[in-house]
Amino acid sequence: MIEQFGHGGDVETASASFGWRVDSFLDYSANINPLGPPPQVMEVIRDGLSSVIRYPDPAHRALRQKLSGYLGVPAEMLCIGNGAAECMALLILGLKPEMIGTVEPCFSEYSELARKFGSEVASVFGSEDRHWRAPLEDILSLLGQVDMLFLGQPNNPNGVQYGMDELSALAAKAEEEQTYLILDEAFIDFIEPNCRITLLPEIQRYPHVVLVRSMTKFYAIPGLRLGYAAAHPDVIQAMRNKQVSWSVNGLALSAGLACLDSGEAYEMDTISMTVRERARLADGLTMLGCRATPSEVNYLLIKLPAPWTAQTMQRELGEQGILIRSCAMYPGLEAGHIRVAVKDGESNQRLLAAMDKALNKRMNEGSSDE
């Protein structure tokens, strides 16, 4: 297993496991925009290299103001973080929940952060017939038992959203219970704008609702780390009180400003490619005997045909220089579950060909054994 740190994209471990150079893998284990960063982002980084001799703005003022206008949210309701993961950590450190709720299967960092910072974890589970969503009544019940609840919107690893009626009911319950509802919207930018289901326009109505978003996935800058949270000013202040000074570097702040200026063309090119290639990839995987959970974003949760497991497929593909994400360790999922990113057409064909080769190889070996 190459997820020894609990995440995809660990090319260092993969290199040690499979013998390929770290820069030579076709990485389907991390869900990053295959178009790469907007051109102006790379220009800003190159032009800003001389600024590394100066400390970055610890208050992140320029980016907060830019985001304020971009999102329609007051700047005092925004916290910039070293990736969405830091924002999640700051929420736990700042709000000090004793019990944290998760809706499984979900991003493993929720539980990992909870345990690192001394919180207990309680969970409810989704089911395959609901595309791995949990019933609303189960989540509402969990909200009454915990101090903070994380919910992916859209969720990772299955890539689905909850409906607006469900979100509104959860937000109302969170206010009633005085429980913090953390909606992880790290991948929402990959969804067509008119299909995004978010409480962002109503965030000022809900003092106990927090939206966390990532800029590293959509804008393809995971090496810089950049994310943010939108919440009541008191929550934002509690987060900032726990934030290490200069945790967000100057190049990341400059890149964030450039990302917000990348324009509609970059956004729509990314979304249209994601929609088109996700459908083609899902069809191709289905033809190979896999089962794909319908997704709204740039990754697919896949159940491999028996007797394949995530571990055996990961090894087969890793030896061909292709990385996939094992989901066998996700609570509620099985040994045969994997997650693959959605990339460009040429890369997706390479993945499908490699999986076809692996599946046929095992089938032929089984036939010869008989």
Task: Specify the pLDDT at position 338.
Answer: 98
% pLDDT > 70, the chain: 95
pLDDT tens digits for range 35-76: 999 999 999 999 999 999 999 999 999 999 999 999 999 999
Alpha-carbon separation of residue 285 from 84, 230, 236, 300 (angstroms): 30, 37, 43, 10
pLDDT tens digits for range 79-94: 999 999 999 999 999 9
Of the CA atoms within 13 Å of residue 165, those in its CB half-sphere come to 3
Q: Name the pLDDT band for 16 (thresholds 50, 70, 90).
A: confident
Average pLDDT, the chain: 94
Task: Specify the pLDDT at position 328.
Answer: 95
Q: Name the pLDDT band for 19 (thresholds 50, 70, 90).
A: confident
Task: Specify the pLDDT at position 368.
Answer: 40
Q: Could you give the domains of the chain?
A: 11-30+264-369 (3.90.1150.10), 39-260 (3.40.640.10)
The set of residues, in sequence order, having a beta carbon less than 8 Å from that of 47 and lying 6+ positions away, is none
CA distance 27 to 32: 9
Secondary structure of residue 221 in the 3-state scheme: coil
Residue with tokens 């304020």: 68
pTM: 0.94
In this predicted structure, the answer to whether residue 215 has a pLDDT above a threshold of 60 is yes
Question: Minimal CA–CA distance to 17: which of 318, 276, 289, 299?
Answer: 318
In this predicted structure, the answer to whether residue 367 has a pLDDT above a threshold of 50 is no
Stronger pLDDT, 346 or 25, i.e. the higher one: 346
CA distance 150 to 153: 10
